[in-house]
């Protein structure tokens, strides 16, 4: 499973001119299920995202997670957006191959599972819509952009 995390001051997802998900300060997570990914991989990805210390503390050091954004226990938002293009393989020619992406039914199931687990573990979770044409708006904070990959267990 791959993800790109963007620390944001605010972010939203629009579909056909309608905002379907929006957060203030927190993380925009672009998420891609790959072939061979499982619920256990999704669980490990979520645990990493929730605990990753990429928000500044009072001294300006990256010591806080999205779960403790202000150091007083206030959580930041999570905006989860499916993005199969993170599985792009560009090694052969100029047109990306997406054969590493999970099949659409598997990708949807894993995305839905990830969202459900995130909502059970975190109080502010918003989403885009799987397989929809979306416009993602964000104000990147820092900028801080972190790529993550969790491999299936061998």
Strand partners, 154: none
Instruction: Give, in degrees to the nearest 5, the angle at Cα 134 between 132 and 140.
Output: 140
Annotation marks residue 6 as catalytic? no
Annotation marks residue 84 as catalytic? yes
Q: Which of 84, 114, 126, 127 is catalytic?
A: 84
Q: Which of 19, 85, 99, 145 is catalytic?
A: 85
Q: Identify the three-state secondary structure at position 2.
A: strand
Alpha-carbon distance 128 to 40, whole Å? 23
Q: Which of 6, 67, 83, 127 is catalytic?
A: 83
- Round the CA-based radius of gyration of the chain to a whole number and report it: 15
Alpha-carbon distance 134 to 111, whole Å? 16
Strand partners, 19: 14
Asked if 25 and 79 count as a contact pair (C-beta separation under 8 A), the reply is no
Annotation marks residue 55 as catalytic? no
Strand partners, 7: 27
Separate counts of helices (H) and strands (E) for the chain: 2, 8
* Active site members: 83-85
């Amino acid at each position: 499973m791959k993800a790109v995390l963007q620390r944001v001051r605010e972010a939203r997802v629009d579909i056909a001119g309608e905002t379907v998900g929006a957060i203030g300060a927190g993380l925009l997570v672009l998420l891609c299920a790959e072939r061979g990914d499982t619920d256990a991989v999704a669980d490990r990805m979520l645990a990493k995202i929730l605990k990753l210390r990429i928000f500044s503390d009072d001294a300006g050091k990256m010591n806080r997670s999205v779960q403790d954004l202000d150091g007083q226990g206030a959580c930041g938002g999570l905006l989860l957006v499916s993005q199969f293009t993170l599985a792009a393989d560009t090694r052969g020619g100029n047109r990306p191959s997406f054969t590493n992406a999970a099949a659409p039914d598997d990708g949807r199931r894993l995305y839905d599972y990830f969202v459900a687990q995130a909502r059970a573990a975190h109080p502010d979770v918003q989403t885009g819509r799987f397989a929809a044409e979306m416009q993602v708006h964000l104000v990147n904070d820092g900028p801080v952009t972190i790529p993550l990959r969790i491999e299936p267990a061998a």
